[in-house]
Amino acid sequence: MLDKANLKIGENSYEFPLIKGTEDEVAIDIKSLRGATNGVITIDPGFKNTGSCESAITFLDGEKGILRYRGYPIEQLAEKAVFLEVAYALIFGNLPTSEQLDKFHTDIKSKSVVDDDVKKILDAFPKTAHPMGILSSLTSALTAFNPSSVNVDSEEDMYRAIVKILGKFPVLVAWTMRKKQGLPLNYGSKSLGYVENIMKMMFEQPNEDYEINTIVKDALDKLLILHADHEQNCSTSTVRIVGSSHAGLFASLSAGISALWGPLHGGANQAVLEMLEAIKEDGGDTKKYMAKAKDKNDSFRLMGFGHRVYKNFDPRAKIIKKAADEVLNSLGVDDPILEIAKGLEKEALKDPYFVDRKLYPNVDFYSGIIYRAMGIPVEMFTVMFALGRLPGWIAQWKEMRLNKEPIGRPRQIYTGQTERSFTSIENR
């Protein structure tokens, strides 16, 4: 087995070590490249071929459609686990015992009260504000009411920050939605499970006793699990690089929320629903939108299709598509856009443009259909993605800090003006 990579530049030859992961992935370790070659660097826009770190949290294989959190296959977790135990596994490395899970949940509940002054910040937002902007601001605002830095070398300090954000974040999510709906803000009930309480905080009407719908609860557990981590995606890389400057956990998470908001990333789940609605309004003419997606002169993309890593299928999309059928049937919801979505997928899977580019439905393609059936407003879909991704962001931030990774600071190749002298304004 090769353990070195050879590079030839002009007459000079260089050797670099290869590193291999536990799933036999191989990387060229170029930490010494610039020094050894007197300044030569690599360049890779979008980091399509570049690893930023070694990580023990999530493994995915884009060709085989494999996704595992801490070695546990996503299919088994989605089927058998609850979200909080998956969060525990991502953050601490293994699925918890029942005692560990109970203590984790108890500690989270003990830290789930948000300083009441946060409501004043929430009040300042217009009802038209996008929930992702509100959530990112409120998450950053937590630093005003909690220690802004975490002593990562103290297990106790790190644990305290983790249970704090896992306790307070769902409150911020629920309050963000209810602010836009003009509903009172509440805390749910400590007697409920983690996901059940999120539902109560989000959906409880002030004039009635809230009943947990177990179909919705199971579907929400599954959706949050499927979104919980995804190795070095855009928002997770953002959380890691912001944290690499030793900015606090809450500030790093706030940055991750903003990165997730983009329609090419987590914002796609909202964009998918808007696209499907447009197609429905347009008489369900999927062929027209397929043509637009393929037209280089048209900026329209088939939202929810394509993925940087998955080049056969997104295992999460398969699970969510099946869950969409089950949840809508169980809830007695007949949503015509589910059929439109299935029609689009069917056409794309046999269209050379999509097949040649290996474009398949991703995690965002069907998720919004379930969220909508649950009564979650479209603008809140990416917030739900953030709620699911929170434990992954925490786990990745913690790993980066505990591994004492250096501050992230990429190089560049300068292509601007060469040296020239200042000229006074009279002479310009």
**Minimal CB distance residue for ligand SDX:** 306
Question: Other CB atoms closer than 10 Å to residue 88's CB: what's the count?
Answer: 24
Question: Other CB atoms closer than 10 Å to residue 207's CB: what's the count?
Answer: 5
Among 167, 306, 315, 388, binds ligand SDX (CB under 6 A): 306
Task: Check: CB of residue 224 under 8 Å from CB of residue 387.
Answer: yes
Q: Segment near ligand SDX (CB under 6 A), from 193-201, 203-211, 261-269, 420-428? A: 261-269
**DSSP structure class, residue 95:** P
Sheet holding 58-61, edge to edge: 58-61, 66-69, 72-73
State in angstroms the smallest separation of the CB of 39 from ligand SDX.
29
Number of residues that bind ligand SDX (CB under 6 A): 22
Task: Give yes or no for residue 304 binding ligand SDX (CB under 6 A).
Answer: yes
For residue 58, the cross-strand partners are: 69
Q: Segment near ligand SDX (CB under 6 A), from 170-178, 203-211, 246-254, 301-309? A: 301-309
Residue bearing tokens 């959530």: 135
Task: Give yes or no for residue 273 binding ligand SDX (CB under 6 A).
Answer: no
Q: Segment near ligand SDX (CB under 6 A), from 26-34, 36-44, 92-100, 360-368? A: 360-368
Task: Give yes or no for residue 268 binding ligand SDX (CB under 6 A).
Answer: yes
Rounded CA gap, 209 and 216, in Å?
A: 17
Rounded CA gap, 123 and 125, in Å?
A: 5
Among 265, 321, 372, 401, binds ligand SDX (CB under 6 A): 265
Task: Check: CB of residue 18 under 8 Å from CB of residue 5.
Answer: yes
Q: Segment near ligand SDX (CB under 6 A), from 129-137, 162-170, 192-200, 296-304? A: 296-304
Among 86, 142, 293, 320, binds ligand SDX (CB under 6 A): 293
Kind of pairing, strands 66-69 and 58-61? antiparallel
Task: Give yes or no for residue 307 binding ligand SDX (CB under 6 A).
Answer: yes
Rounded CA gap, 351 and 355, in Å?
A: 6
Contacts for 424 with CB less than 8 Å, ≥ 6 apart: none
Among 146, 176, 362, 367, binds ligand SDX (CB under 6 A): 362
**DSSP structure class, residue 142:** H
Residue bearing tokens 């905080």: 201
State in angstroms the smallest separation of the CB of 365 from ligand SDX.
7
Task: Give yes or no for residue 264 binding ligand SDX (CB under 6 A).
Answer: yes
Task: Say which of 44, 307, 334, 335 is annotated catalytic.
Answer: 307
Residue bearing tokens 């890389």: 237
State in angstroms the smallest separation of the CB of 282 from ligand SDX.
17
Point out the residues that are catalytic. Answer: 307, 364
Binding site for ligand SDX (CB under 6 A): 46, 230, 233, 264-266, 268, 293, 301-309, 357, 359, 362-364
